[in-house]
Amino acid sequence: SAVTPLQEQLGAEGTAFISIQAFPALLDLPQDLEVSEVSCGSRHTAIVTRGGELYTWGWGKYGQLGHGDDTSSDQPRHVEYLAAKGLQAEEVVCGPWTTYVCVLEPG
């Protein structure tokens, strides 16, 4: 059978869904991002940069990507909430349908 690349497709009901693959995929990040932490959940992934930014992608049905919605994405998206609150991500742990983030408040 053919392997479908990670991309948004139309599902049976005409709604978009993300194709989830159980193997590593090459990911392009902006060159200026230095990744310090990575965590993988059952269907989503998160990274923390050396600058304290959080990026997430994958299946977001339960809001585990942290973007204030339940949108799924196969491309990393910056979690704006932390920056808006002046918080820096220090560590991230992805669970089955959750994401836990340890943050630092500005001192």
Distance CA(53)–CA(89), nearest Å, equals 6
Q: What pTM was estimated for this model as a whole?
A: 0.78
Distance CA(8)–CA(20), nearest Å, equals 10
**pLDDT, tens digit (0-9, with 9 covering 90-100), for 20-49:** 666 677 777 878 889 999 999 989 999 999
